[in-house]
Structure 1
Amino acid sequence: MNEEPGIPTPIPRGPLWLSLLAPPVVVTLVMLLICLSGVPREFLIPVPAILFFPLLSFLYVFNGAVGKRYKGTSLLVLGWFYFLGQVIVCFTVWVGSCVIVS
């Protein structure tokens, strides 16, 4: 007879929510600091390139959280789509901030 699969390992919610919420919050805070501090608007342009490296560190946190349940190709695909989704969200926040400022 077929055996029933066991209960899947739970994903720790703290690191998961940290990795999902932190990049957009960081982009928003950086844009607010630049806009409210009176710095020239040219400093808005390199923000996505600078925030690329913290995004990679949060990808590491995300893979650590999700890696407790998923392995192999599933983890690779989840990591890739996490990265792609965060880039889209952060870029949207950045473009929206640039439009509001100008």
Structure 2
Amino acid sequence: MPPIMEGPYQIPSAPGAPPPMPEPPRMPRGRLWASLLAPPFATGASLGLVVLLDQAHALSGNDWIPWLLMVVTGAVMLVSLIQFILLVSRRYIGGSIALLILGYLVGQAVVCFAVFFGGCLLLMAGSGF
């Protein structure tokens, strides 16, 4: 009888046994890390840009710049969410993908709010508050 699996753990096949399950498809790690790191990076970069522009007094009368940065950050978050969904849908189905997407949304919200409020607190501490 031929073995079911190759390698160090060979199990002899029993008569009438189902064939072995195929290995699940792999997810590209680089794109997965990019979808996880892009929203916090965009949040920190937009906060840093607003701080730099405020220190250079370039924001006086230009209230549309912070709003534009918020829209760009939101677009980065949306694109990252879509990329994450496309990546994990190759490997997971059903309730597990719904739980992964919910976890992604909650995790990104926590991390992005922490980056934003941490940056605001550092800005307040630097200005002598």
Q: Do both proteins adopt the same fold according to a TM-score greater than 0.5, normalized to the shorter chain?
A: yes
Separation (CA, whole Å) in 1 of partners of 2:30 and 2:90: 13
How many pairs were matched up?
99
Query: Is the contact between residue 42 and residue 76 of structure 2 (CA under 8 Å) also seen in structure 1?
Result: no
State the structure with more CA Rg: 2
Separation (CA, whole Å) in 1 of partners of 2:51 and 2:87: 34
Unaligned runs of 5+ in 2: 1-16, 125-129
Are 1:79 and 2:89 counterparts?
no
**Aligned-pair identity (%):** 32
> Post-superposition shift, 1:83?
0.8
Are 1:4 and 2:26 counterparts?
no
Are 1:37 and 2:59 counterparts?
no
What is the TM-score of this pair, normalised by structure 1? 0.82
The structure showing larger relative contact order (alpha-carbon pairs under 8 Å, at least 6 residues apart) is 1
Amino acid at match of 1:28: G
1:21 aligned partner: 37
Amino acid at match of 1:59: L
| Alignment RMSD | 2.3
What is the TM-score of this pair, normalised by structure 2? 0.67
> Post-superposition shift, 1:6?
1.3
| More helix by percentage | 1
1:56 aligned partner: 78
